[in-house]
Amino acid sequence: MGMARLRPLKARVLVKVLAKFGFVPLRQKGSHLVLRNSPGKSTVVPMHSNEEIDVSLVRSILRECGISLEEFLKEI
């Protein structure tokens, strides 16, 4: 069985998975939601309705959060 691949995601799905890693909404300005965890790492997720977040931006957000792709894919 092959490893799961990262695909474009809806913003709300990404926020739910980031919550499993301790990231909670801090503030929102327009369509940009800022999330932070207890050690103080933060990231911004664009919350555009019905649009998917491209794989490259998901990877960038994971890098900012210090979450490996393998860890992330286990939680989807």
CA–CA gap between residue 18 and residue 41 (Å, rounded) = 12
Kindly report the pTM of this predicted structure: 0.92
Residue 1 has a pLDDT of: 45
> Domains of the chain, with CATH numbers?
9-75 (3.30.920.30)
* Burial (CB count within 10 angstroms: exposed 0-12, middle 13-18, buried 19+), residue 5: exposed
pLDDT tens across the length of the chain (76 residues): 455 789 999 999 999 999 999 999 999 999 999 999 999 999 999 999 889 999 999 999 999 999 999 999 999 8
Residue with tokens 């932070």: 36
Residue 4 has a pLDDT of: 73
**Entry field: residues in the chain:** 76
With a CB cutoff of 8 Å and minimum separation 6, the contacts of 64 are 41, 42, 43
